[in-house]
Structure formats: structure tokens, C-alpha cells
Amino acid sequence: MRIGVLGAGQLGRMLALAGYPLAKTFVFYDMSGSPSAGLGEVIIDREGKYLDDFLSRVDRVTYEFEHLPVEVAEKLAKEKPVHPCPRALQVCQNREAEKTLFGELGIPTPQWKIADSAESLKAAAESLGCPVVAKSNTEGYDGKGQAVLKTPEDAEAAWESIGHPRLMVEKFVEFSREVSIIAVRGEDGQLAFYPISENVHHEGILRYAIAPAPKLEKHVQEDAERYIKALLNELGYVGVLTLELFETANGLVANEMAPRVHNSGHWTIEGAMTSQFENHIRAVSGHPLGSVEPRGLSCMINIIGEHGDVERLLELPYAHVHLYNKGERPGRKLGHINVLADSYAELVWRVRNCVQFLPGSPEFSSSLSSNRKG
């Protein structure tokens, strides 16, 4: 079976790495002009001229990034099975549609309002109560196109700095930590849920993901499963879906969803019986899903901007190094390291040992560490 992947970055690369043992082959469709998957066939098509060619070479289509026109996915879906469905793309490209769907399905969200001018942004900040977070309603990712308003008087400057005609304005959530749940749904409706991970960000970029999230109460995992299950079933979803959440004193609050394999699930490559990548390929191909049981305690460390001392990292017996074959650039995801351990204390020790060889990495700070920020 030939799987067509829209997008050709590291997520596509890891999908292919997981799909080869199942005898899948891959054709990537790249619109950026700089594919990095480095595996399979790549069609570079900045002007959208070779979609038919792409389609003729594949049996099924999936995607590894969600910023592609919904019309493209819809056009493809008329010819070949496209998983997940284009509606999932549509929802997650538009924060208003996403938060509306969450609300309809009983998934808690921050209180929110839409603003379409500096005046209505100010009014939204006044009615929600500051602080609020204003985000471009479309085209935002990794915290880009966002501003925090400490008082309604910040509205003018925030409107100018975001520079987008329509904003999602959210009440600022006082969370204890950021977490995510990754789930997968098969073609026959079979469901599987990975344990929640605790996600540590630095300057808007994920740095560490710890799974299963430490000190997580059982009902919190159950709540997250109920929320993501509602989304999967409502969308008739096939493949891996990620739901990013805030953990608060009053339970989980949903931030956003990603209709794909996710950086916070890279730990599953060595840390779970079946990785998120293999399960996505299984689902998209119509196979039964694999076990999502963790193999131990995991921490994923992102390699950002510079590679660090890879030779020394490779010497550590517990460090599973994954490199994406990308050039160094500030803020760029170049690879990740998965560390497994039998106890959280051992995990923290191993993670700190890895981090010393990653200059520029923020100090490891999480609910496990005493130096925790915030």
C-alpha cells in the first residue's frame, strides 16, 4: 500500500520510519519548497500543479501538518480515502470553529469572545476580565500571533502587534501545568488512548514531554479520554488526534487540537508498545490498532536550534537519539531524545545528564523538579 502524505517534514519522516516495517511505501507532497522528510518519493509543488500526479501514485492520503487549504483535502477526498477527514482540518484551522465544537461536545474551554477591531478587543477584555490572551483566529501556531492583555487599555497595542482582522480572545487560564492526550481511532471505530503527557514549553516551543504525566489523578486521564473520544466520534475521525489541555484546580480546560501525530507524543517511539506513528499508519491503512501501553516512564527532550554534542549523547546508554537531518537555525526542531526509566527520580537524573550536552536547552523544569518555574 502506498500512503500519500501531505507535508514532508520530520513528522512525515517518522511516519515513514514506522510504516516501512509494515511494508508501506510513501509519497510526500511538499508545498513549502524545503522538504526534510528525506525518505520516500517527494513531490515538490509550490504552485499546486501536481496534485493529480500525487493522487495517481497513492492508495490513501494523510497529512502531517494542518496548514494546508481545506479545499485541497476535499478535492483529494473525492478520489481517494483521506484520513483524517477534511472537516478535522477545517475545525482546527479556525479557533472559533474549534472552541465552538468543544463547547457543543461538553469539553471545557477558557471563556472566549471574538474581536474584529481594537474597540471590540477592548470590550472583550473588559467583559471577560483581564488578563486575557488574544490570538489570531486563523494561521496561528507555537504561540505566534498572540498577545496577553494585562488591562483593557492594552487593546490598541495588542491589535496592532497581532495585525489580524479577527481575533479569538480568551480568559487567561491559571493552569498548574500543560498536558496533552493523544488518541487513535481505527477505520472500524476502534479507539485507543495513550497516557496523558506533561508538556514543558520554553519561549512558546515544546521542550520536554513526560509520560505518563507524574502525579496525575485517574479521573483526569478519564476526563481527557472522554473529551477526545467525543471529538473522534463526532468527526468520524480515522488516525491519531492530539488534544492540548491545561490542568487547573478545577479540572482540565481544552486549549486546542491537532489532527495529526504530535511532538508531545514522540516519547511513544520507545516508550509505548506501539508508537503514535505506527498507530496512525495502522489506522489510515485500515488495520487493527496496536497496544498503547507505556513500557515504563518516558521523557522526550527536544533538540532545538543547535544539535549540541551528539557524540556524547550517543554514548549515554539510555538516550535514544532521533535526528531529523535538518540544518541548525534558532528555534528550529532538529531532533529529539527519548529517555526511559523505571522511576521518576531516575528519569530526572537521566534527563539532566542528556541536557548538559544540549547547549541552549533550558534547564529541566517540570512538576518533578524543585526548581519549577511558575
Residues that bind ligand AMP (CB under 6 A): 110, 133, 135, 140, 143, 170, 172-173, 178, 201, 255-256
Would you say 255 or 274 has its CB closer to ligand AMP?
Answer: 255
Instruction: Tell me the C-alpha distance between 164 and 335, whole Å.
Output: 32
3-state percent helix, strand, coil for the chain, nearest multiple of 5: 30, 30, 40
Q: Smallest distance from the beta carbon of 110 to ligand AMP, in angstroms?
A: 4
Contact status, residue 211 vs residue 198, Cβ threshold 8 Å:
yes
Helix or strand or coil: residue 217? coil
Would you say 126 or 328 has its CB closer to ligand AMP?
Answer: 126
Is residue 349 within a helix (H) or strand (E), and if so which, with residue range?
Answer: helix 344-355
Instruction: Tell me the C-alpha distance between 64 and 10, whole Å.
Output: 9
Would you say 110 or 271 has its CB closer to ligand AMP?
Answer: 110
Would you say 103 or 143 has its CB closer to ligand AMP?
Answer: 143
Q: Smallest distance from the beta carbon of 43 to ligand AMP, in angstroms?
A: 30
Q: Smallest distance from the beta carbon of 109 to ligand AMP, in angstroms?
A: 9
Please provide the size of the chain in residues: 374
Would you say 153 or 174 has its CB closer to ligand AMP?
Answer: 174
Q: Smallest distance from the beta carbon of 112 to ligand AMP, in angstroms?
A: 8
Instruction: Tell me the C-alpha distance between 289 and 143, whole Å.
Output: 33
Closest CA to 246 of 268, 276, 224, 214: 224
Helix or strand or coil: residue 360? coil
Would you say 24 or 95 has its CB closer to ligand AMP?
Answer: 95
Q: Smallest distance from the beta carbon of 307 to ligand AMP, in angstroms?
A: 25
Q: Smallest distance from the beta carbon of 349 to ligand AMP, in angstroms?
A: 27
